[in-house]
Chains A and B, each alone.
Chain A
Amino acid sequence: MASQEPSDTAEIVDVLVIGAGPSGAVVTHTAAAAGLSVICLEQGDWVNPSDFPANFPEWELLIQHNWAHDPNVRGLPSDYPVDVEDSDMWPVMFNGVGGSSIYYGAEWPRLLPSDFRVKTLDGVADDWPISYNDLKPYHDEVDEFIGVAGVGGDTAYPEGLDYPLPPHPMGKAGIKAAQAANKLGWHWWPGTNAIASQKYKTLEQCGRWGVCEWGCPQGAKASFDLIYMPQALKAGAQVRTGARVRRILTESGGLATGAEYIARDGNVVFQPARAVVLCANGVGTPRLLLLSASDQHPDGLANSSGLVGRNLMLHPNCTALGYYDEDLESWRGPAGQLIHSMQFYETDKSRGFVRGAKMHALPTPGPLNAVEAHRELDFDELWGPAIHDVARSARNGILWAANTEDLPEEHNRVTLSTKLVDPDGLPAPKIEYRISDNTRRLLKFTVERMVEAHEAAGAAHVITQELWIDQPGHLLGTARMGHDPATSVVDSYGKTHDVDNVYIADGSIFVTSGSANPTCTISALALRAGKKVVEQVYARKAQS
């Protein structure tokens, strides 16, 4: 019978990383490569490229449930439920080695300089304690490590932006979208993607399968089980799968001593550590900090500010799906962004809102997906003879999609559910998220711009969606960074203000969300945090 009493025979490890997604993989590698002993705990396990749905003819049906983005739908053993009863949107994630990068599109834009100075420039939210330039060397290092593909010199950014691999072709769909942007006088740029356009280290060359967001069958997308984590293992790190962490423990002196996890066999194991780094995403990390409440930390670990779980930002997504009369071969990838546009990224107060959106054009693979996209049509417009033409339209589509910048608001938060528990009986996270008026105006404006882009390109018809309720995998802001312990949870290196050897290195530490796809920034922040962890663990070991 499984024991609920933790074993205490494990050897102390220098760095204990919780979560094997992008930030966890970067920190695990950084610490192991520096010669520290590292264990990474992951509640899921490894996934092979051959497992992914696009390997099978029924892939479009598999992604509806068994491989759905929403953990509440797919309900795998690695998943925990997410209580969304009081939320306008349903956060999604993947739980396994690689984390949500298993499902991400690998769009790889950095935040812009203005993102770090929103309070100064726009008088709302807060400035970050670091700048664009502070983060740039870490971005450059990550980009080189994972082989980002793109065209240097993007005019939406300061000078000095370049990538190690050549770009992917835009294809007919991307060129069509780019021509429309030119016609409208908009900024656009060939898509920057963390997808290897040539074989690179442990990544294969992109096969343009077009299904990046449902797992890359080629092993070409930089999901962090395929890059960073393999190198971390080679450097001596251990990844312990099937390990669901239930709490972080602290000693009377105030330092963390390690973490307790429920192993695959149901036994509870205590893993002692000199430093603990949370990399469990913007929902999982605050959940774990709240689960770690104790007499010493009655409101949760590292929560003296009361801000753990608050300021959740989700990048509300909107789309305009256009269908054309000409063949765009839109079954072909990458997807991945074919092109992106930062034309409406920055604040223009004449639009009636602050901040903006990052827009990107993607292909539209799959006839059943085209049918699903047309569900809002009247019955007779979809079912019956019409269905043949709807299915044919799949290869003629362009999907314009956008992340919008939602601002930090304390009432948007993660707490512990009183109704739902995970398969190990731990309380699920509860999401309370309401879309602000600013965001609603931004969503409406952005959809109108994307429709304009389709019209300029001559689309035959356009289907819009002003909010993708079950889309947001961008989980940000719930343990924000800052200089002041009263108004932030961690410092700019991710070290918690309250516990000297507990760090956070995932999207939780964002101050504002920007509207750039965040994994690029998460990885750079994780590298910066990981290097600081190494420095401080070595310093602490030297002292003792």
Chain B
Amino acid sequence: MTTSSDRRLSVPPRHTKPPRPLTDREHDILLRIADTLIPAAGPNPKASDAEQFLPYLELALAARADVFDAVVKAVNDLADVGDDELRGALKQMWANDKFTFDPLSSIIAGAYFMTPQVKELIGYPGQHRDPAGLEDAANELETGILDPVLERGPIYISAAGE
């Protein structure tokens, strides 16, 4: 139980599940939308074919729980749009309703680019601890890259008192 005294004031709670599970129908429509926005191209899979896309989609929906209702409404509004018309409908949403399209597309793209398979494909190792070697900075400067700046000398404007 959380009481007012132990509630964290400066840290938002992290949720890993969306406010409610999507229905099967909502789920299917969302995947159709995802595959329209992120189709297969070259070595890149379409969204729903990315390994582990579904658990990451759930995580993405949870991370943007603030727009969950708007996203689900958009999904339901597109329920009856056929595959051939879906891209056009999304383009219309993009043009006319960015307050829905932007979070919807962020959630889908965010989920896709979280999947380990896609991260590897695009060369994104994720944010991680990667401390510099002790000599790395010195080695950069030893190339003489800073010499032109040093040769020009001071550039500040003098004022009384410095």
Contact = CB atoms under 8 A, between A and B. Distances in A.
Interface of A: 43-48, 51, 54, 56-62, 64-67, 74, 76-78, 94-97, 112-114, 116-117, 120-121, 131-134, 151, 153, 155-158, 166-170, 175, 178-179, 182, 185, 187-190, 197, 205-211, 217-218, 241-242, 264-266, 327, 331-332, 342-343, 346-347, 365-368, 371-372, 375, 379-380, 383-385, 387-388, 391-392, 394-395
18 contacts: A58-B59, A58-B63, A62-B14, A76-B9, A113-B158, A113-B159, A114-B159, A185-B148, A189-B146, A189-B149, A208-B132, A209-B127, A209-B129, A217-B129, A331-B125, A371-B113, A385-B41, A388-B44
Contacts, number: 243
B10 interface: yes
A51 B123 contact: no
B85 to A, nearest CB: 15
B9 A78 contact: yes
Given A182-B148, A384-B36, 6 more contacts: A44-B9, A131-B160, A167-B141, A190-B146, A342-B156, A395-B122
A371 B113 CA distance: 10
B109 A155 contact: no
Contact of A209 (B5, B90, B105, B128): B128
Given A56-B14, A66-B63, A383-B90, A156 B155 contact: yes
Given A132-B162, A190-B146, A331 B127 contact: yes
Contacts of B159: 113-114, 116-117, 120-121, 131-132
Interface string B89-128: 0110011000000110111011001100001001111111
B73 interface: no
B7 interface: yes
A54 B159 CA distance: 44
B42 interface: yes
Contacts of A76: 9-12
A211 B129 CA distance: 11
A383 B94 contact: yes
B20 interface: no
B60 interface: yes
Q: Is the interface of A mostly helix, strand, loop or mixed?
A: loop
B82 interface: no
A168 to B, nearest CB: 6
Contact of B9 (A77, A188, A385): A77
Nearest to B66: A65
Contacts of B56: 57-58
B38 interface: yes
Given A117-B161, A218-B129, A367-B124, A383 B37 contact: yes
Nearest to A74: B12
B154 to A, nearest CB: 5
Nearest to B87: A384
A156 B107 CA distance: 44
Contacts of A132: 159, 161-162
B1 interface: no
Contacts of A46: 10
Contacts of A112: 156-157
B43 to A, nearest CB: 9
Nearest to A393: B122
A526 B9 CA distance: 26
A492 to B, nearest CB: 12
Contacts of A168: 132, 137
Contacts of B90: 379, 383
B161 A61 contact: no
A450 to B, nearest CB: 18
A375 B90 CA distance: 14
B123 A151 contact: no
A57 B126 contact: yes
